[in-house]
Structure 1
């Protein structure tokens, strides 16, 4: 994939770190220059509590005169397209888009280009020749880390379940392909057995829960590892395992390092989660957006290009990642993620763990 590197709108004022105003969706244009950030859904708390928050904060630092308006499409592609049109009509200078669907979101980038407005694909790629920039971690490597963790905590002949991401999210396939780089040779050789796999439409934990229930029924609980593509799926798998008295006995991977995932790791029920420096991602995006608002170039901020689904070369900045395992992993995330504190994690049952008592 790498070419040179291998139905509600919510508004934030720049500088605010919490929800500012609930908008009707038809308000007047903002008085000054503004950038629109389009989020895909609120099933995963990271979009509003981390990505949007950090982006707003970073924009305040690099472009204090530019306002930020944040929309959430609640997993509806038509809504996201309407929100983009609304932002363009109001005079947005840059669109920062986390697409629900990498293909259908092309209309957003194309409409923006017609209006002379650049589009930054944030986290997920937009498959349009008019995608101006892409900010992302190496999700293939993160998928590989998930799979490697489960492999290292299972043995020859063990049966694995794969709870994949949303089929409409281009990142889900990248994560899964990274998993398969580790797992497919083991499946082919019989070192591990693929017992069940399923996609999770919209990354909905309720769907992941049904998948895990079906897996346990089909396999008569003969499951020794769960390669879960994100923390929502992981939490759903753990709830299903708990009903069978299996929680904490089966390695379960994840992604996003949510507070719930860190708590489950301390409780010994989730065994791994991937963490990305969302603050760094948002900071890079803010720097790019600020340059684009001014009509300045961004070549010095990129590390090469990637080809998207329509073979367009998109300038790309990779962001690192960390595989969090055990108390050490939880401590690392808390230390490096300013949106999560030890107090946040040490709630409920997790408060009784040795990590939280020390």
Structure 2
């Protein structure tokens, strides 16, 4: 889908959510349940926001403020209870319990461990509390899901690496460093990347990295380089930018500068792309994802059903539940489109990207 069509379709979905949420403001409800239930107006809404960790910069820097801002725009007097699990699945289960005790009517949940959180999702469901799976599809009776086409993310990463390695594919090997085995998105990225690379690139070593940890990724990359032989390494697949930072350090220590993928369009990754030490990232516009989740939360908290435009597709989670979903198309980020994507969308300013260390790289890329 081209950029114009993608944004038009997404705008239609968000418009549908906005209309529903606006109608919620005057909706009157007559009954509730032990876990929260319905309310008389948006002034009494209580929404829980549960994010998974802080090692990936997006959650605190973008997702949290964007979700909170949109909820407040739709329901100015709503209460938002925020929790971050610091990559601890047990802590997140406890946080769900706390949210239910506080009377949150809807939970926006980005699961640390999609399987481990299933009992908590069931507990919320039994209490009449709606659960929106955010970015990662949790198991259990989830009511709605907002994310990106995660298989497509992996496909785009794999295709980019195949193109970047080019003719060197026949003379060497790559290594793959995938995301956390407890994150269902990581499995989608991995499957998508394999579908694009298998038969085209030889994969010498492959790792699944607990907690998406950059330090682990650095150690895995160093081990892969040793196992394959530095002279035989022609590329590296990293499932996200946080791990790409650790991999880039290992590559540099081995005297290598080979194609390297990423995801999340982190600021340091944008700078590495400009400097030529990372080939690409996947830009997932956080604002439409965050605002869609916020609008869904306001709608569901006031007892409204999600329209077909708000949740135009479905997804099936690991526990066999079919969930109404909005899946946004990701964008490949390269040196050539930094200005028209992350800068144009206000994710970063040129000044933030083009610090003195990267001034010459920015000038060469026409970024000013």
The question of a shared fold, defined as TM-score above 0.5 by the shorter chain, is answered with yes
| Structure 1 stretches of 4+ moved >6 Å | none
Q: 1:142 and 2:153 equivalent?
A: yes
Q: Distance in 1 between the 2:134 and 2:346 partners?
A: 20
Residues 324 and 332 of structure 1 are in contact (CA less than 8 Å); yes or no, is this contact kept in structure 2? no
Alignment of 1:260-275 (within 5 A): 260-275=268-283
Residues 313 and 327 of structure 2 are in contact (CA less than 8 Å); yes or no, is this contact kept in structure 1? no
Residues 36 and 94 of structure 1 are in contact (CA less than 8 Å); yes or no, is this contact kept in structure 2? yes
2:180 corresponding residue in structure 1:
166
Q: Distance in 2 between the 1:127 and 1:289 partners?
A: 18
Deviation at 1:183, TM superposition (A): 1.4
Q: Distance in 2 between the 1:284 and 1:208 partners?
A: 32
Q: Distance in 1 between the 2:323 and 2:197 partners?
A: 30
1:244 corresponding residue in structure 2:
254
Deviation at 1:181, TM superposition (A): 0.8
What is the total number of aligned residue pairs between the two structures?
Answer: 319
1:13 corresponding residue in structure 2:
none
Alignment of 1:141-290 (within 5 A): 141-154=152-165, 155=167, 156-157=169-170, 158-186=172-200, 192-221=201-230, 222-246=232-256, 249-290=257-298
1:352 corresponding residue in structure 2:
360
SS at match of 2:80: strand
Deviation at 1:299, TM superposition (A): 2.8
Deviation at 1:306, TM superposition (A): 1.3
Deviation at 1:338, TM superposition (A): 2.6
Q: Distance in 2 between the 1:137 and 1:334 partners?
A: 17
Unaligned stretches of 5+ residues in structure 1: 1-30, 187-191
Which range is displaced more, 293-302 or 270-279? 293-302
Q: 1:46 and 2:52 equivalent?
A: no
- RMSD over equivalenced CA pairs, Å: 1.5
Q: 1:81 and 2:89 equivalent?
A: no
Q: Distance in 2 between the 1:357 and 1:317 partners?
A: 33
User: TM-score, with normalisation over the residues of structure 2?
Assistant: 0.84
2:37 corresponding residue in structure 1:
none
Post-superposition Cα deviations, 1:160-214, rounded to whole Å, max 9, x if no partner, equal: 110100111110000000001111233xxxxx21111101110000000000000
SS at match of 2:197: helix
Q: Distance in 2 between the 1:43 and 1:88 partners?
A: 26
Greater RCO between the two (CA within 8 Å, min separation 6)? Answer: 2
Deviation at 1:82, TM superposition (A): 0.6
Q: Distance in 2 between the 1:336 and 1:90 partners?
A: 40
User: TM-score, with normalisation over the residues of structure 1?
Assistant: 0.86
